[in-house]
Amino acid sequence: MHFAPNILYNKGYFCNLNFKIKDKLTDNSSNSIKKFVLPIALLFSLGRIILDIISKLAQVGAKMYYATFLIAFVLEVLAIIYLIAGYKKRQGNLINLREALVVGVMFMVIVGSLFAIESYIYDTFIDGEFQKNVAIEWANLYGKGEDVEKMMNDGSGTQKTNAIFSIFTSIIKFSVIGILISFIVGSILRNKK
State the pLDDT confidence band at 18, using cuts at 50, 70 and 90.
Answer: very low
Return d(Cα 164, Cα 150) in angstroms, integer: 22
Highest mean pLDDT among 12-21, 106-115, 128-137, 144-153: 106-115
Judge whether 37 lies within some domain: yes
Domains of the chain: total: 1
Mean pLDDT of 102-128: 94
For the whole model, what pTM was predicted?
Answer: 0.79
Least confident of 15-19, 129-133, 135-139: 15-19
Q: Average per-residue pLDDT in the chain?
A: 83
Judge whether 24 lies within some domain: no
Quote the domain boundaries for residue 138. Answer: 30-189
If you ran DSSP here, which 8-state letter would residue 122 be given?
I
Judge whether 103 lies within some domain: yes
Return d(Cα 186, Cα 106) in angstroms, integer: 14
Judge whether 22 lies within some domain: no
What pLDDT shows up at residue 20?
A: 42
Judge whether 14 lies within some domain: no
Report which of residues 30 and 58 the model is more confident about: 58
What pLDDT shows up at residue 121?
A: 93
